[in-house]
Amino acid sequence: MSVKARVSLFVTCIVDQVFPQVGIAMTQVLERLGYPVDFPPSQTCCGQPAFNSGYPEEARTVARHFLEAFRDAEYIVVPSGSCTSMITHHYADIFGKEPELAPRVWEFSRFLTDVAGVDDVGARFDGVVTYHDSCHALRELRIKDGPRRLLAKVQGLTLREMDPAEECCGFGGTFSVKFPEVSGGMARTKIDSILKSQAGTVVSIDSSCLMQLQGVIDRAKLPIRTMHLAEVLAAR
Amino acid sequence: MTGAQSETVKQTLGDPRLQLAIYSATNRLMTHRAGAVQQDRLPDYQELRTHANLLKKHTIDHLDYYLEQFEKNVVAHGGKVVYCSDSQEVADFVLSLAKERGARLIVKSKSMTTEEIHFNERLEKHQLEAVETDLGEYILQLAEQRPYHIVAPALHLTRYDVAEIFSKKLGVEKEVVIEKQTMIARATLREKFLAADIGVTGANFLMADSGAVVVVENEGNARLSSSAPKIHIAVAGIEKLIPRAQDLGVFLNLLGRSATGQPLTVYTSFLSGPRRGGEVDGPDEFYVVLLDNGRTKLLADPEKRQSLYCIRCGACLNHCPVYRKIGGHNYPWIYSGPIGAIITPQFHGVLKDPWLPFASSLCGACAEVCPVKIEIPKLLLTLRQEVTAAKQRQGAGGMERMAFRIWAWLMTHPRIYLMVGKIGGPFVGLLPKVGPLGKWASQREVPKPAKTSFHAWWKQREASK
């Protein structure tokens, strides 16, 4: 077996501080596939909160820090479509050109399907699952089939589409606190779609969407679980 | 959404009947559109979008040239072009023409451009009656409301609402059967068409090489408005130009499908000049009012100029999860939804409604369905930057700016970031901003920061190796 390239994790600020289990699951899946994994310790955030709030200077400062932290990485794997897209699509907007490392940045599910070339990671998860398309993954990174292919290969898992899977959960970063009623209303509409699918678990490749949905689920005490794709793929 | 704005938003969100009306109408429009652009019905849909975008870009980049060409050709057909820089100039023109011709009654077909300049209200002040003849617009005129949606102006009203409005304003029995309601409107409007002195329409496209105005519609009222009265005035924004008649097919293929899922609307009228000798119908006089009303300001910015590509199909509204929640009337101008959120700040200045570009989750559904590929989320981000910069120039928004400065400092000092994280979770830097945790908690449970961060977990793991 050939030696695999080194993978550097960018776990994102939200996974680092609120959902570390997602980073741990991602590490497990990548190591099972034989990738040497490292974690550049000076990493923090990609800068998206400032960029989306109209503060390009502050976003640039944080983005520069990210670029410095991952300067020597071969593959940078991220458990978020939104943060990946910030780096691969929007750093060009704040720096005037695409940074040199952008092609080395991969959203987790796409790394599995397109770089590792696997659909079946040998996971087992018993239950009915529905997949929520997170907006930046879907519309900026064009990720739609990959996570579904990975889920379909999980033993014991039944994948059931909700209608519509593609509508926003209403998080939108600072939008969720600037317009809480609208954001909450959007989340409740999304939850209705999940409930109608009768899936017990909603899976996404973005923890921020799941944080938004979990908050509403907990408030309404609904029997739905939120899980990041990495957690499902790490399960055995 | 500040002050009263947020109260009306809460009202909209808390009105289940209204929510249902908005959802079912936009759902229907979305489903129809999706069917009309699917691969087997319109195989070159994406190529058409690109083509339409390039045609609009070319036209807007050379607008001076095409305006002159259009004017020359309108004049050659015996019509007249009137350039107006604002609503006052349009009103002045129509009033002086009406006075010269002794006109009293105007029939109007649906036109967002005339809504933009409060055409009806201005004329009413001078004892000129202007009657809306599009069914939805007619209902709204009776109800004294502005359009809720670019394409479906009375989208928020149910047939029971319409029964109330007709009964109150027309003195008829309450009628809830839609076909019968239509007949009530038709009976009133036929009289108006026959009696009208002037017909006013909007324009969907102005073809420069042929000097023709193109109007698309489903009810036939625009065709009547432009042909029954002796005078026809088409009021159009200067961005409605397209270079050639042969380019029209690209846009007609996209407009109806994107708006309502129709391959083509029921009526497509080509209006070029007054009635000529030997023709049986058509007006005696034909005017095209070309309106600026702030559009040339948008032309000045090479990035945001693309906002003028809009062909007013309304698809971005239907697909916008924010529009679908708050509806049309919570937007500050008649242009609502994503397109409204990008053009309103450009027409009125970014500080008039500074919240508007922020009222989006940046989900991107709008850009995906825009038939002329306007980069709406990108423009929203640009406008957000303009708002924060303008606030800073005015010495406002200091708290938020400070919060982001502290946050940026924190995010570039990993050791302190980790320390702060241990104490109070990741967003502590943003806390002083507007009490975001409180706003978050008004709708949903606050996530608990993990006991051990991933950073700490990794460090431990490395140490135990």
Joined together, the tokens standing for residue A85 give: 């897209």
CA distance A107 to chain B (A): 18
Q: Are residues A163 and A229 both part of a single domain? A: yes
The answer to whether position A73 is within a domain reads: yes
Q: B404 contacts in A (CB within 8 Å)?
A: 49-50, 53, 55, 58
Residues A42 and A130 in one domain: no
The whole-angstrom separation of Cα A100 and Cα B128 is: 65
User: Tell me, what's the pLDDT at B122?
Assistant: 87
Pair (A80, A155) in one structural domain: no
A82 and A125 share one domain? no
Q: What is the pTM of this model?
A: 0.95
Residue A82 and residue A124 in one domain: no
| pLDDT tens-place string over residues A132-150 | 999 999 999 999 999 999 9
Q: Which letter does DSSP use for residue A200 in this model?
A: S
Cα B113 to its chain centre, rounded Å, is: 10
Q: Are residues A169 and A215 in the same domain?
A: yes
What are the CA-CA distances from residue B408 to residues A63, B105, B412, B430 (Å)?
10, 62, 6, 10
Q: Which of A191-205, A216-230, B376-390, B435-449 has the lowest mean pLDDT?
A: B435-449
Shortest CB distance from B440 goes to which of A17, A19, A176? Answer: A176
CA distances to B102, B104, B120, B123 from B127, in Å: 12, 7, 11, 7
ipTM: 0.96
Task: Answer whether A180 sits within 8 Å of B440, measured CB to CB.
Answer: yes
Q: Residues of CATH 3.40.50.10420 domain(s) within chain B?
A: 43-296
Specify whether A15 is located in the same domain as A109.
yes
CA distance A182 to chain B (A): 7
Report CB contact under 8 Å: A55, B434.
no
Find the domain containing A79 and state its range.
7-114
How many Å lie between the alpha carbon of A168 and the closest alpha carbon of chain B?
A: 6
Does residue A164 have a cis bond before it (omega within 30 degrees)? yes
Residue ranges of chain B whose pLDDT lies below 50: 3-4, 428-429, 431-433
Task: Check B407 against A214: CB less than 8 A apart.
Answer: no
Whether A209 and A145 map to the same domain: the answer is yes
Last residue of one domain, picked from the residues A114, A143, A175: A114
CATH code for the structural domain at B43-296: 3.40.50.10420
Contact A55 B385 (CB under 8 A): yes
- CB contacts of A21 in chain B (<8 Å) are 450
Residues A123 and A97 in one domain: no
Closest CA–CA distance from residue A116 to any residue of chain B (Å): 23
Q: Based on the fold, state whether residues A70 and A164 are members of the same structural domain.
A: no
* Whether A182 and B404 lie within 8 Å, measured CB to CB: no
Q: Are B267 and B223 in contact (CB under 8 A)?
A: yes
Residue A148 inside a domain? The answer is: yes
What is the predicted pLDDT for the residue at B465? 84
How far A136 CA lies from chain B's nearest CA (Å)? Answer: 7
Strand, helix or coil for residue A155: strand
- Indicate whether A1 belongs to any domain: no
- Cβ distance A17 to B439 less than 8 Å, yes or no, reads no
Question: Inter-chain contact A180–B439, Cβ cutoff 8 Å?
Answer: yes
> From CA B458, how far away is CA B465, in angstroms rounded?
11
Asked if the Cβ–Cβ distance from A181 to B388 is below 8 Å, we say: no
Q: Which of A114, A131, A148 is the last residue of a domain?
A: A114
Q: Which of A114, A140, A169 is the last residue in one of the domains? A: A114
pLDDT value for A52 = 97
Query: Which residue among A54, A182, A189 sits closest to B384, beta carbon to beta carbon?
Result: A54
User: A94 or B419: whose pLDDT is higher?
Assistant: A94
Shared domain check, A66 and A26: yes
Express as a percent the part of chain A with pLDDT over 70: 99
Query: Is A51's CB within 8 Å of B381's CB?
Result: yes
The phi, psi pair for B107, rounded to 5°, reads -100, 140
| Best to test chain A binding among B7, B443, B459 (most A CBs inside 10 Å) | B443
Total count of domains within chain A: 2
Question: Distance (Å) from the C-alpha of residue B405 to the closest C-alpha of chain A?
Answer: 6
* Of residues A39, A41, A185, nearest to B325 (C-beta): A185
Q: Residue B281 has what pLDDT?
A: 87
Least confident of A22-31, A175-184, B339-348, B424-433: B424-433
Closest CB to A20: pick one of B378, B436, B457: B457
Do the chains contact at B445 and A41, CB–CB below 8 Å? Answer: no
Query: What integer pLDDT is reported at residue A131 of this predicted model?
Result: 98
The verdict on A184 and A197 lying in the same domain is yes
Tell whether A2 is covered by a domain.
no
